[in-house]
Amino acid sequence: VQDDAARLQKAYAGEKADDIHRHERAVTEAWEGLQSATQARRLLLLDTVEKFRFLNIVRDLMLWMEGINLQI
């Protein structure tokens, strides 16, 4: 996008170049926002995976303790 915007700004002057620059800035900001949202979602998913791993370990330990209690 930046390469195309730079090329178009050279081809057009004045008001059109300003419009191109504004659109380039808007696209860049939207891209950064998307990357930020993606990173936040990735972290949330990793937290969820860790939570379920922990809950599986807890479940396994509870079953083991129940088995030990039955043996006693």
Find, among 56, 62, 55, the residue nearest to 70 by Cα: 62
pLDDT: which is higher, 69 or 17:
69
Half-sphere exposure of 11 (CA within 13 A, CB side): 7
Quick: pLDDT tens for 3-61. 777 777 777 777 887 888 888 889 999 999 999 999 999 999 999 999 999 999 999 99
Res. 70: pLDDT tops 80: yes
What is the reported pLDDT for 48?
Answer: 98
HSE at residue 53, side-chain half, CA atoms within 13 A, is 6
The pLDDT value given to residue 16: 80
Q: Select the more confidently predicted residue: 18 or 1.
A: 18
Q: Using the structure block, give the residue that is written with the tokens 């380039």.
A: 24
